[in-house]
Chains A and B, each alone.
Chain A
Protein backbone atom coordinates (compact mmCIF):
# COMPACT_ATOMS: atom_id res chain seq x y z
CA UNK A 1 0.00 0.00 0.00
CA UNK A 2 1.08 3.56 -0.54
CA UNK A 3 3.05 5.27 2.17
CA UNK A 4 1.41 8.66 1.76
CA UNK A 5 -2.30 9.34 1.54
CA UNK A 6 -3.60 12.81 0.81
CA UNK A 7 -6.94 14.31 1.60
CA UNK A 8 -9.09 15.74 0.31
CA UNK A 9 -8.92 14.06 -3.08
CA UNK A 10 -10.19 17.26 -4.67
CA UNK A 11 -10.56 20.82 -3.46
CA UNK A 12 -12.24 23.75 -5.16
CA UNK A 13 -11.86 27.27 -3.77
CA UNK A 14 -12.15 30.89 -4.82
CA UNK A 15 -9.12 32.99 -5.65
CA UNK A 16 -7.80 34.67 -2.53
CA UNK A 17 -8.91 31.91 -0.16
CA UNK A 18 -6.51 29.60 1.62
CA UNK A 19 -6.15 25.95 0.60
CA UNK A 20 -5.20 23.22 3.05
CA UNK A 21 -4.20 19.72 2.00
CA UNK A 22 -3.32 16.90 4.35
CA UNK A 23 -1.09 13.88 4.07
CA UNK A 24 -0.85 10.84 6.32
CA UNK A 25 1.81 8.17 6.24
CA UNK A 26 2.47 4.87 7.93
CA UNK A 27 6.10 4.30 8.83
CA UNK A 28 8.87 6.45 10.29
CA UNK A 29 10.47 8.88 7.88
CA UNK A 30 13.61 10.93 7.34
CA UNK A 31 11.76 13.66 5.49
CA UNK A 32 8.50 14.50 3.79
CA UNK A 33 8.20 16.47 0.59
CA UNK A 34 5.42 18.19 -1.31
CA UNK A 35 5.34 18.30 -5.09
CA UNK A 36 3.08 20.00 -7.57
CA UNK A 37 2.01 18.70 -10.98
CA UNK A 38 0.42 20.68 -13.74
CA UNK A 39 -1.54 18.98 -16.52
CA UNK A 40 -0.41 15.46 -15.70
CA UNK A 41 3.22 15.97 -16.63
CA UNK A 42 6.43 16.57 -14.70
CA UNK A 43 6.38 17.24 -11.00
CA UNK A 44 7.92 20.31 -9.42
CA UNK A 45 9.40 20.14 -5.96
CA UNK A 46 7.80 22.64 -3.57
CA UNK A 47 9.20 22.06 -0.12
CA UNK A 48 10.97 19.48 2.02
CA UNK A 49 10.52 19.16 5.75
CA UNK A 50 12.77 16.92 7.82
CA UNK A 51 11.57 14.67 10.59
CA UNK A 52 13.06 16.93 13.28
CA UNK A 53 11.24 20.00 11.95
CA UNK A 54 7.66 20.92 12.81
CA UNK A 55 6.94 23.79 10.46
CA UNK A 56 8.46 25.30 7.35
CA UNK A 57 7.57 28.27 5.16
CA UNK A 58 8.32 29.12 1.56
CA UNK A 59 6.58 32.17 0.14
CA UNK A 60 2.83 31.52 0.31
CA UNK A 61 3.41 27.90 1.33
CA UNK A 62 3.39 26.63 4.88
CA UNK A 63 4.06 23.00 5.71
CA UNK A 64 3.61 21.38 9.08
CA UNK A 65 4.74 17.95 10.20
CA UNK A 66 3.47 15.98 13.17
CA UNK A 67 5.53 12.82 13.47
CA UNK A 68 3.51 11.60 16.44
CA UNK A 69 0.40 11.55 14.26
CA UNK A 70 2.32 10.66 11.11
CA UNK A 71 0.72 13.51 9.25
CA UNK A 72 1.60 16.68 7.37
CA UNK A 73 -0.35 19.58 5.98
CA UNK A 74 0.31 21.98 3.13
CA UNK A 75 -1.29 25.40 3.37
CA UNK A 76 -1.37 27.72 0.37
CA UNK A 77 -2.35 31.22 1.42
CA UNK A 78 -4.05 33.81 -0.78
CA UNK A 79 -4.52 31.30 -3.57
CA UNK A 80 -4.33 32.28 -7.22
CA UNK A 81 -5.80 30.71 -10.33
CA UNK A 82 -2.26 29.67 -11.27
CA UNK A 83 -2.13 27.45 -8.17
CA UNK A 84 -4.58 25.11 -9.88
CA UNK A 85 -2.72 21.79 -10.04
CA UNK A 86 -2.38 18.41 -8.38
CA UNK A 87 -0.38 18.32 -5.17
CA UNK A 88 1.42 15.22 -3.93
CA UNK A 89 3.17 14.41 -0.71
CA UNK A 90 6.09 12.03 -0.84
CA UNK A 91 7.84 10.26 1.97
CA UNK A 92 10.98 8.29 2.24
CA UNK A 93 10.78 5.42 4.65
CA UNK A 94 13.45 3.89 6.77
CA UNK A 95 14.07 0.26 6.07
CA UNK A 96 11.45 -1.34 3.91
CA UNK A 97 11.37 1.11 1.01
CA UNK A 98 15.08 1.79 0.80
CA UNK A 99 16.25 4.68 -1.31
CA UNK A 100 13.07 5.81 -2.96
CA UNK A 101 10.22 8.20 -2.35
CA UNK A 102 6.70 6.90 -2.06
CA UNK A 103 4.02 9.21 -3.37
CA UNK A 104 0.41 9.55 -2.35
CA UNK A 105 -2.48 9.69 -4.79
CA UNK A 106 -2.57 13.49 -4.67
CA UNK A 107 -5.04 16.29 -4.11
CA UNK A 108 -6.49 18.07 -7.12
CA UNK A 109 -6.76 21.77 -6.34
CA UNK A 110 -8.88 24.06 -8.46
CA UNK A 111 -8.75 27.79 -7.79
CA UNK A 112 -11.59 29.69 -9.41
CA UNK A 113 -11.06 33.29 -10.48
Chain B
Protein backbone atom coordinates (compact mmCIF):
# COMPACT_ATOMS: atom_id res chain seq x y z
CA UNK B 1 0.00 0.00 0.00
CA UNK B 2 0.93 3.64 -0.17
CA UNK B 3 3.25 5.17 2.34
CA UNK B 4 2.81 8.35 4.33
CA UNK B 5 2.18 11.32 2.11
CA UNK B 6 2.46 15.01 2.88
CA UNK B 7 1.39 18.11 1.06
CA UNK B 8 2.53 20.50 -0.09
CA UNK B 9 6.10 19.36 -0.58
CA UNK B 10 7.29 22.96 -0.50
CA UNK B 11 5.60 26.07 0.85
CA UNK B 12 6.89 29.61 0.67
CA UNK B 13 4.92 32.17 2.61
CA UNK B 14 5.24 35.68 3.90
CA UNK B 15 5.75 36.49 7.54
CA UNK B 16 2.43 36.88 9.30
CA UNK B 17 0.46 34.57 7.02
CA UNK B 18 -1.19 31.33 8.18
CA UNK B 19 -0.20 27.98 6.67
CA UNK B 20 -1.73 24.51 6.72
CA UNK B 21 0.33 21.38 6.26
CA UNK B 22 -1.34 18.07 5.53
CA UNK B 23 -0.40 14.50 6.37
CA UNK B 24 -2.02 11.32 5.09
CA UNK B 25 -0.81 8.39 7.20
CA UNK B 26 -0.62 4.79 6.16
CA UNK B 27 -4.10 3.28 6.18
CA UNK B 28 -4.83 1.53 9.45
CA UNK B 29 -2.10 3.29 11.42
CA UNK B 30 -3.64 4.61 14.60
CA UNK B 31 -0.70 6.71 15.79
CA UNK B 32 0.45 9.85 13.99
CA UNK B 33 3.34 12.15 14.84
CA UNK B 34 4.50 15.57 13.72
CA UNK B 35 8.16 16.60 13.92
CA UNK B 36 10.08 19.67 12.89
CA UNK B 37 13.62 19.66 11.57
CA UNK B 38 15.58 22.86 11.20
CA UNK B 39 18.49 23.01 8.78
CA UNK B 40 21.23 20.60 9.84
CA UNK B 41 19.48 19.67 13.06
CA UNK B 42 17.80 16.61 14.49
CA UNK B 43 14.08 16.06 14.73
CA UNK B 44 12.06 18.04 17.21
CA UNK B 45 8.86 16.36 18.39
CA UNK B 46 5.76 18.51 18.06
CA UNK B 47 2.63 16.46 18.72
CA UNK B 48 1.35 12.89 18.83
CA UNK B 49 -2.12 11.64 17.93
CA UNK B 50 -3.73 8.42 18.98
CA UNK B 51 -6.83 8.19 16.85
CA UNK B 52 -8.29 11.69 16.78
CA UNK B 53 -7.04 12.75 20.18
CA UNK B 54 -3.66 14.22 21.04
CA UNK B 55 -2.44 12.83 24.35
CA UNK B 56 0.90 14.57 23.96
CA UNK B 57 1.16 18.03 22.46
CA UNK B 58 4.05 19.06 24.64
CA UNK B 59 6.32 19.84 21.71
CA UNK B 60 4.23 22.56 20.11
CA UNK B 61 6.50 25.62 20.39
CA UNK B 62 3.80 28.24 20.85
CA UNK B 63 0.05 28.80 20.70
CA UNK B 64 0.46 29.76 17.05
CA UNK B 65 0.85 26.04 16.34
CA UNK B 66 -2.14 23.70 16.36
CA UNK B 67 -2.99 20.35 14.84
CA UNK B 68 -6.02 18.22 14.35
CA UNK B 69 -6.78 14.79 13.06
CA UNK B 70 -10.11 13.70 11.67
CA UNK B 71 -11.57 10.26 11.04
CA UNK B 72 -8.48 8.71 12.58
CA UNK B 73 -6.70 9.44 9.35
CA UNK B 74 -5.67 12.77 7.83
CA UNK B 75 -3.97 15.32 10.03
CA UNK B 76 -3.47 19.02 9.51
CA UNK B 77 -0.79 21.10 11.21
CA UNK B 78 -1.65 24.80 11.22
CA UNK B 79 0.80 27.59 11.91
CA UNK B 80 -0.77 30.99 12.43
CA UNK B 81 1.00 34.33 11.94
CA UNK B 82 4.14 32.60 10.66
CA UNK B 83 7.54 33.87 11.73
CA UNK B 84 10.90 33.42 10.02
CA UNK B 85 12.02 31.03 12.75
CA UNK B 86 9.20 28.70 11.71
CA UNK B 87 11.15 27.91 8.53
CA UNK B 88 11.99 24.22 8.65
CA UNK B 89 11.05 20.84 7.23
CA UNK B 90 7.91 19.49 8.87
CA UNK B 91 7.82 15.72 8.95
CA UNK B 92 4.88 13.47 9.65
CA UNK B 93 5.13 9.84 10.68
CA UNK B 94 2.65 7.11 11.48
CA UNK B 95 2.84 3.80 13.26
CA UNK B 96 0.56 0.83 13.49
CA UNK B 97 -0.04 0.99 17.20
CA UNK B 98 0.23 3.56 19.99
CA UNK B 99 3.72 2.53 20.84
CA UNK B 100 7.20 3.55 19.99
CA UNK B 101 7.87 0.84 17.47
CA UNK B 102 8.79 1.57 13.89
CA UNK B 103 7.54 4.88 12.59
CA UNK B 104 7.03 5.41 8.88
CA UNK B 105 7.86 8.89 7.69
CA UNK B 106 6.47 11.01 4.93
CA UNK B 107 8.74 13.05 2.64
CA UNK B 108 8.14 16.23 4.60
CA UNK B 109 7.00 19.75 3.81
CA UNK B 110 9.74 22.33 3.46
CA UNK B 111 8.36 25.61 4.83
CA UNK B 112 10.10 28.88 4.07
CA UNK B 113 8.87 32.04 5.73
CA UNK B 114 10.15 35.19 4.04
Contacts and interface: CB of A to CB of B under 8 A. Distances in A.
Interface of A: 2, 30-31, 33, 35, 40-45, 48, 88, 92, 98-106
Pairs of residues from A and B, 5 with the lowest C-beta to C-beta distance, nearest first = A92-B100, A105-B42, A103-B43, A42-B105, A43-B105
B77 interface: no
B40 to A, nearest CB: 8
Contact of A31 (B35, B45, B101, B104): B101
Interface of B: 4, 31, 33, 35, 37, 39, 41-43, 45, 48, 50, 55-56, 89, 91, 93, 98-108
Given A30-B100, A31-B101, A40 B89 contact: yes
Please report whether the interface of chain A is mostly helix, strand, loop or mixed according to DSSP: loop
Given A43-B105, A45-B103, A99-B99, 18 more contacts: A40-B108, A41-B89, A41-B108, A42-B107, A43-B91, A43-B93, A45-B102, A98-B48, A98-B55, A99-B98, A100-B33, A100-B45, A100-B56, A101-B100, A103-B42, A103-B43, A104-B42, A106-B42
Contacts, number: 63
Contacts of B108: 40-42
A27 B103 CA distance: 21
A31 B100 contact: yes
Given A40-B89, A42-B91, A92-B100, A102 B45 contact: yes
A40 B42 contact: no
Contacts of A105: 41-42
A75 B100 CA distance: 23
Nearest to B45: A100
Contacts of A92: 99-100
Contacts of A44: 105
Contacts of B35: 103
Contacts of A88: 42-43
